[in-house]
Structure 1
């Protein structure tokens, strides 16, 4: 990288500004926040565009996907598996290339615009009197600047739709919300004790059971269902960018006040992914007999380990295909997600999401530096005691890879990579400590009967 010193100075300046803003309690206007955020991003994007070093996946995976769209070819097959997601973002890449915008600009334009849009959304996500402070701190976030402006990775695109889904699902009112307000396990246990297993099943699933009543129309529910529909559509667009926003769905659903609204949002989440999949033959030139292969490639996760955490220690910090470690890590992730979801089930849904994403980072056997951006908007919006040690720690680790290691030839890079990857294990306890341990049970009140839509009870005949 040719402009590593300048980039590093900008990133350090951003951290200093964010910490001073916290210390002094700044509440800048949205105009000031956007000016700072846009200024940082445009500067680093400009230097990255003219740099002689370009990220490998940005050039050899993302660009071929956009070029495939220009040739009316499937972006997954046309990039030889370099792009293994839905074609939504390659459509935008193809449009920018068709307009004649150089790839080094156009490819980053997608992510930089998305990351700028995230700035006010983080403020909305935080809500309350600190909204502008949190937006400002995200505007200065060094990792966001690296991922969006230097790497051109698509995480900001997934996040802008995912965070927007949270904001829409929560709707108006106080920013703090309860999680699950009903102890489903205890309720089921009492029902089985009182009615037996068969009676409990009929009580839950019968014509007049719990589920049927939950799905019954309610008076005054249209605004809530409209929020649910739009939130689900936005979350679906997040899934069109990458598959990992599936971890955001539980938090989004819990922000909605009724079971019926959650069902609407869940169903709506599938609309955009299904649309972009079934329209591949129309917009991407994918033949019908190619669609099974496209789905196979999109679902194929190669067992590459050695970049992060315990897997890096196990293999000496070298990228390698290791099905054993990858399988163990995948199972560990699923078990951990279930445990965390249970422990934080009564937390504010944003805190639940933060806990899930941080726990993923601790237990995953494979990780690219851009993954560390996943939790950033949520942790910045609702910081914990160890939030800033986590932000600074992952930014230093990622910055070393982006700025320092790119100064050397391939052989030297691989030598540095081994130490860099293994050093990531130091971050695991910091990320674990940054989880919202003190906020496992939300103190926010449940919606009052006046605000919560009530079931419509038909008049007697």
Structure 2
């Protein structure tokens, strides 16, 4: 990579500025943070696009998907396994290519614009008096710069929709919310003690019971349902970009104020991906008979391990097709997610989501450097004691792969890769420490705020 030194200087300067801003408690205007983010991303985009080295998947997987859309072909099938997701992002690629923008710029424009939009969204996610500081720190986040502007990976697109879903679901009021409370369980236990289990079940499931009241429309809940619709649609768009935002759904649902809004949000979360799937024959020219092939290709995930964490220790630091390791890692993900969801069940849904994403990085058997961006907006918005060691650690590891290893020919690259991938195990305990251990519960007073009916129609507060 020809511009590795310039890129490294920009990344290091950004980290230093972000840490100084933390130390000095700078709170710049939000527009200033956005302008800083635009400036550094623009510089890195143009230098990366002008470089002789281009990421392999960017050129051989993403570009064919965009060209397929431009030619009226299915992006999943025409890319010959290069694109394993719904066609939402290839549609964007196709439009930019149709406008005559060269691919080395077009593909990165999609991710860079999404990452710029994430800057104010991180401020919204953080809330409170330090919101603009968090926006500046994300604007300078080295991993975000590498993934969006250098690699052109699509994580920022999935994140921009996912974080927006959180912001919409939380709605007005305090930026801090309670997780799952114990009030319902306490009332059920008391009811069973006083009336017996049969009567208690009737009180929950019968007419006029707890479930019936939760599903019955009440005056003034239209705004809550509207939040559910928009939050669900945004989360659905996140799932159209990649499949991993499924881990964001629990936090989004918990941020919504009631059961009806959560049901509506879950419905639209599934409806949007279904829409993009069934409209493939209209917008991508996919024959109806090929839809099963598209679904099968999206579900086809090869069990490649050896890039990160514990699996390189068994593969010698090289990529390997190891179905057994991949299966064990998948089971470990499910088990750890259940444990973390239980431990953080009473936490703010944003802290729950941060914990879920971080533990995924610790136990996953397969990971690319871009995956480490998943937790960044959440950890930057709500930093923990070890947030910055984790941010700097994963950024250094990723930058070594992006900037240093790309200087060498294939044989040297593989030799460096074996050391680099095995060294990632050092980061696992740091990611565990960066989890929001001190925020495993939130005072139950921090509940969602229902906007009074008069205020909903525009009268002053």
TM over 0.5: yes
Q: What is aligned with 2:58?
A: 58
Q: What is aligned with 1:28?
A: 28
Q: CA deviation at 1:395?
A: 0.1
Q: What is aligned with 2:272?
A: 272
Distance 1:339 1:380 in 2: 24
Contact 1:176 1:444 in 2 (8 A): no
Q: What is aligned with 1:387?
A: 387
Residue correspondence of structure 1 range 346-365 to structure 2 within 5 A: 346-365=346-365
Contact 1:257 1:452 in 2 (8 A): no
Distance 1:103 1:150 in 2: 13
1:449–1:327 distance in 2 versus 1, CA, 3 Å: closer
Q: What is aligned with 2:459?
A: none
1:183–1:2 distance in 2 versus 1, CA, 3 Å: farther
Q: Which of 213-222 and 2-11 deviates more?
A: 213-222
Contact 1:192 1:200 in 2 (8 A): yes
Distance 1:191 1:10 in 2: 62
1:186–1:364 distance in 2 versus 1, CA, 3 Å: farther
Residue correspondence of structure 1 range 32-431 to structure 2 within 5 A: 32-182=32-182, 201-431=201-431
Contact 2:306 2:421 in 1 (8 A): yes
Deviations 1:249-277 (A, max 9, x none): 11111111111111111111112101100
Contact 2:170 2:448 in 1 (8 A): no
Distance 1:168 1:119 in 2: 16
SS of corresponding position for 2:101: coil
SS of corresponding position for 2:130: helix
Matched, 1:11 2:11: yes
Distance 2:187 2:234 in 1: 33
1:300–1:30 distance in 2 versus 1, CA, 3 Å: same
SS of corresponding position for 1:223: helix
Distance 1:328 1:90 in 2: 33
1:364–1:186 distance in 2 versus 1, CA, 3 Å: farther
Q: CA deviation at 1:209?
A: 3.4
Q: What is aligned with 2:442?
A: 442
Contact 2:176 2:446 in 1 (8 A): no
1:371–1:191 distance in 2 versus 1, CA, 3 Å: farther
1:446–1:74 distance in 2 versus 1, CA, 3 Å: same
1:395–1:450 distance in 2 versus 1, CA, 3 Å: closer
Which structure 1 residue ranges, 5 or more long, are not aligned?
Answer: 454-461
Q: CA deviation at 1:207?
A: 3.6
1:448–1:367 distance in 2 versus 1, CA, 3 Å: closer
Deviations 1:169-228 (A, max 9, x none): 111111111111236666666666667766655544334333222111111111111111
Contact 2:173 2:448 in 1 (8 A): no
Contact 1:204 1:211 in 2 (8 A): yes
Q: CA deviation at 1:365?
A: 0.5
Q: What is aligned with 1:457?
A: none
Distance 2:78 2:448 in 1: 54
Distance 2:285 2:315 in 1: 41
Q: CA deviation at 1:449?
A: 9.1
Q: Which of 151-160 and 221-230 deviates more?
A: 221-230
1:318–1:450 distance in 2 versus 1, CA, 3 Å: closer
1:141–1:206 distance in 2 versus 1, CA, 3 Å: same
Q: Which of 198-207 and 30-39 deviates more?
A: 198-207
The CA RMSD measured in Å over matched residues stands at 1.8
Contact 1:111 1:148 in 2 (8 A): yes
SS of corresponding position for 2:311: helix
1:163–1:450 distance in 2 versus 1, CA, 3 Å: closer
Distance 2:231 2:278 in 1: 22
Q: CA deviation at 1:81?
A: 1.2
Distance 2:361 2:245 in 1: 14
